Amino acid sequence: MSATGPGAELPRTDRPDAPAYLTSYQARAGAGAGPAGPPQDNGDPGVPLYLRSFRARQAGPNGAKQAGEPAWQGEDLGVTPAWAEVTRTKEIVPERREQGAKVVTDVYLVRHGETQGYSSESGLTPLGSWQSHRRGQEIARRVLTGHRVVIACAPTNRARQTAEHLRRGLVDNMVLFGRDAEVGEVAAAAEFRNFAVATPQGPRDVTAAFRLYHREMERYERIGLGERPGWLVETDRFWGIQQGGGDPITHWLTMPLLHFEPPVSCVRRFWSGMLRLQREAAGNTVVVATHSGPIRAFATWAMGYDPGEPFNAEFVRVRLIEGGVTALVLYRNRVQEVRIPVPADLAGGTDPRFEEASA
């Protein structure tokens, strides 16, 4: 049979010796090994620096291996977490403001859950109910035994339903965690309403004004009454952006509008509402279900830039610090310390057309 036939034995290609890198390491380790200890380099320049440094750290001054606590020249340092915290250099690792400040009230400005639509005063979808309930469960993690929780909402159906589901989620998880805290009933607060439009029938929530706007627009187009009033022109632009898939809140924040409540008015209202609830209800946690436009205006004022539209059931957290001078505003992984407005700041520049705005 030919040596190259199908049954011929193939030549062996395996090598009995170790790979070159392993042979070199074994040679270095075997040459410097002591009778009863780890390999020593004995000044061998062939041993890498990192290996010599590691062996020097592992061996004490008498050649005995040190274990357990960190050591320096064979002496136990006694390093503990408490000792490390006391000796921390504040210039290198400064304390975060939210860690050192004493917070007296935590306020959560929560956007309502997914709604059935914005062209009418609709409630939440099943998904919106789940979003709100899930957010309440999350907030419950920060509620401790003995705390008091105040729950408020804007005077709209979707905000009230969101607040009710937030409350259920809070109560469910506090029972799960075994915490005993007082959770108040849902109460409407006019300060946290949505921004309004000045219509001939009085100020209306921008959503509630849609029906009036649609009826008037149809009348002008069908009969041809002539020049449309200013509030109708501005409302038509606002809802036109919405229907075209754009962002009408950006339009409201950046475009001067004569017949819309200005964003700064919403910021003043929110501060007035938070300070009132803190003064009257005195809760450790305040949960407010409200609308995306005023929340976004508040976050833009605090951060100094527009951080974007909050998602359904997303919140801006406001931590009121002891003393009533400053507060911490937290939104999307950013913390900004702001000064709490004084009464003169909250009263200035209010447009009387929107003081009695209803839903």
CB atoms within 10 A of CB 182: 12
Strand partners, 198: 203
Model pLDDT, residue 86: 65
Query: Which residue type occupies 51?
Result: L
For residues 181 and 148, is the Cβ–Cβ distance under 8 A? Answer: yes
Between vectors from CA 69 to CA 63 and to CA 75, what angle results, nearest 5°? 50
| DSSP line for 70-113 | -EETTEE----HHHHHHT--TTTSPPPHHHHS-EEEEEEEEEP-
Per-residue pLDDT of the chain (359 residues; tens, 9 = 90+): 455 555 556 566 566 666 777 777 666 665 555 544 555 555 666 677 777 777 777 665 555 554 555 555 556 666 666 666 666 665 655 666 656 678 999 999 999 999 988 777 789 999 999 999 999 999 999 999 999 999 999 999 999 999 999 999 999 999 999 999 999 999 999 999 999 999 999 999 998 899 899 889 988 888 777 789 999 999 999 999 988 999 999 999 999 999 999 999 999 999 999 999 999 988 899 999 999 999 999 999 999 999 999 999 999 999 999 999 999 999 999 999 999 999 988 886 567 777 766 44
Q: CA-to-CA distance for 109 and 287, rounded, in angstroms?
A: 6
Model pLDDT, residue 33: 52
- DSSP single-letter state for residue 324: S
Query: Which residue type occupies 1?
Result: M
Model pLDDT, residue 338: 96
CA 105 and chain centroid, separation: 17
Model pLDDT, residue 282: 83
For residues 317 and 329, is the Cβ–Cβ distance under 8 A? Answer: yes
Boundaries of every domain in the chain: 30-86, 97-195+261-354, 204-254
Nearest Cα to 136, choosing from 310, 270, 313, 283?
313
Q: CA-to-CA distance for 154 and 192, rounded, in angstroms?
A: 5
Nearest Cα to 32, choosing from 60, 61, 63, 57?
63
Between vectors from CA 354 to CA 348 and to CA 356, what angle results, nearest 5°? 110
| DSSP line for 221-260 | HHHT-SSPPHHHHHHHHHHHHHHTTS-HHHHHHHS--SSB
97-195+261-354 CATH fold: Rossmann fold (3.40.50)
Model pLDDT, residue 97: 63
Model pLDDT, residue 359: 40
pLDDT digits 0-9 by tens, 8-40:
565 665 666 667 777 776 666 655 555 445 555
Q: Is 193 helix (H, G, I), strand (E, B) or coil?
A: coil
